[in-house]
Amino acid sequence: MPSSSARQRLRERLTSGPLVIAPGIYDAYGARLTEMAGFEAVYMTGNGVSASLLGRADVGLVDLTMFAEHAHRAAAAVDIPLICDADTGYGNAVNVRRTVEEFEAGGVAAIHLEDQVMPKKCGHIPGVRPVVPLREHAKKIEAAVAARRDPDFLIIARTDAAGAHGLDDAIARVKAYRQAGADVIFVETKNSPTLLDDMRRVTRSVDAPALVNVEEGGALGQLTTTQLQELGFRIAIYPGLARYAAGFGIRQALDTLKRDGNTRAARERMLSFKEYNEALKLDDIVDWERRYLPPPE
C-alpha cells in the first residue's frame, strides 16, 4: 500500500518537475500494470469502476462502500499514489466527512469531489450537468479538508458548471473552492472550437495547481503531455485508457474464438502466461513460500 511518503511525493509534484501523468484504471490489476509501465501515479475512474463492478454506465449507481473497498484493493497492490474519483462525495458535508475518512484509510492519495447535483453522471455523457449552488460545494470542500488526518492527502475540487453556466462561472467556482482549501482545481469542459483557449484561461485565472481530464476521443486527447503541460496543467488523468483498451482487446479475442474455434490468431495481442504472472508478482509468492512454508514431510 502507498505510504504517507507516496502522498508526499504527489503533493511535492504539484509544484515541481514535469506534468504528473496518471493513466486511468478500474481495478488492482490495471494499477499493477501502470506501475510496471513506469508511471508515477495512477487514477481510478468512476466510469470504469461502474463498468467493472456493475456492467452499467456512470450515472451514480456506485456507492461509497463499493468504491472505497475497490480503491483500497488497488492502492494496496502498488507503491505509487492512487488518485480516485469520489463523485459528489456521496451526499452532503456530513457524507463527505466519511468519504474522506474511508478513502484516506484505504491508502488512496487524492480524491476529486464534483459539484454536480445528485445523482451525478459522467461529464462526457451528452447533455448539460446541473450543479449545486457554489456555497454548498465550497462548504463540502471545507468539510473534506477538515476531515482528513494526513495533511498530504489531496483534495481536488471539480466543477461541471461550464456546460450549463459558462466558463466564467466555472472559474469563479474553482476560485471559491481553492479558497475553501482545495489543493488542486479541476474544470470539466466540453469539446468546442475554443477549448484550448478555455483551458489556458483556467490555468491562468486560478492560483492553484490544475488537473486536466483527457478523454481519448476528444480534442484534448490529440495533445501530447508536453502540450498539456505548456497549457499550465500539473496533473493529467486518462480515465478511458484501460477501459477502452481492455474492452477492445477482450472483444477481439472473443470474436477470434467464436470465428476460429481457438484464440491462436489473437495471441500476439494477448499477454503470455509468464507476463501475466509477472504483473501479479507471482515470484514474490513463490519466494515467500520457499522462506516460510515448511517442506513437505
CATH code for the domain of 59: 3.20.20.60
Indicate if 182 and 256 belong to the same structural domain: no
Q: At what angle do helices 134-147 and 93-105 cross, to 10 degrees?
A: 40
Q: Are residues 166 and 288 in the same domain?
A: no
Q: Are residues 11 and 45 in the same domain?
A: yes
Residue 116: DSSP 8-state = B
Query: Does residue 217 fall inside a structural domain?
Result: yes
Domain that holds residue 275: 247-292
pLDDT of residue 1: 46
Q: How far is CA 169 from CA 116, 159, 189, 200, 208, in A?
A: 14, 10, 12, 15, 17
Contacts of 281 (CB under 8 A, 6+ apart): 32
Place of cell 497492490: 77
Distance, in Å, from the CA atom of 176 to the CA atom of 199, rounded to the nearest integer, reads 18
Does a structural domain hold residue 235?
A: yes
Asked if residues 105 and 148 have their Cβ atoms less than 8 Å apart, the reply is no
Structural domains in the chain (count): 2
Is there a domain that residue 297 lies in?
Answer: no
Residues 17 and 74 in one domain: yes
Q: Is residue 98 part of a domain?
A: yes
DSSP 268: G
- Which of 180, 213, 252, 247 shows the shortest CA–CA distance to 45? 213
Strand partners, 84: 44, 111
Domain presence at residue 215: yes
pTM score, whole prediction: 0.93
What 5-11 contacts at long range (C-beta under 8 Å, 24+ apart), as own/partner pairs, is 6/79, 6/80, 6/81, 6/109, 7/81, 7/109, 7/110, 7/150, 7/152, 7/153, 7/154, 8/152, 9/40, 9/81, 10/41, 10/81, 10/83, 10/109, 10/110, 10/152, 10/154, 11/152, 11/154, 11/183
In a domain, 275, yes or no: yes
Same domain, 110 and 218: yes
Which are the catalytic amino acids?
A: 43, 58, 85, 87, 112, 114, 122, 158, 188, 213
Same domain, 153 and 119: yes
Domain assignment present for 155: yes
pLDDT at 248: 95
Q: Same domain, yes or no, for 217 and 258?
A: no
Same domain (yes/no): 70, 182:
yes
Do 16 and 66 sit in the same domain of this protein? yes
Q: Are residues 238 and 252 in the same domain?
A: no
C-alpha cell at 204: 491562468
Same domain, 277 and 237: no
In angstroms, how far is CA 229 from the centroid of its own chain? 18
Per-residue pLDDT tens listing for the chain (297 residues): 455 689 999 999 999 999 999 999 999 999 999 999 999 999 999 999 999 999 998 788 889 999 999 999 999 999 999 999 999 999 999 999 999 999 999 999 999 999 998 767 565 666 677 899 999 999 999 999 999 999 999 999 999 999 889 999 999 999 999 999 999 999 998 777 788 999 999 999 999 999 999 988 778 889 999 999 999 999 999 999 999 999 999 999 999 999 999 999 999 999 999 999 999 999 999 999 999 999 887
Phi, psi angles (nearest 5°) of residue 14: -65, -25
Q: Cβ atoms within 10 A of the Cβ of 276, count?
A: 12
Residue 96 lies in a domain: yes
- What pLDDT is attached to residue 193? 79
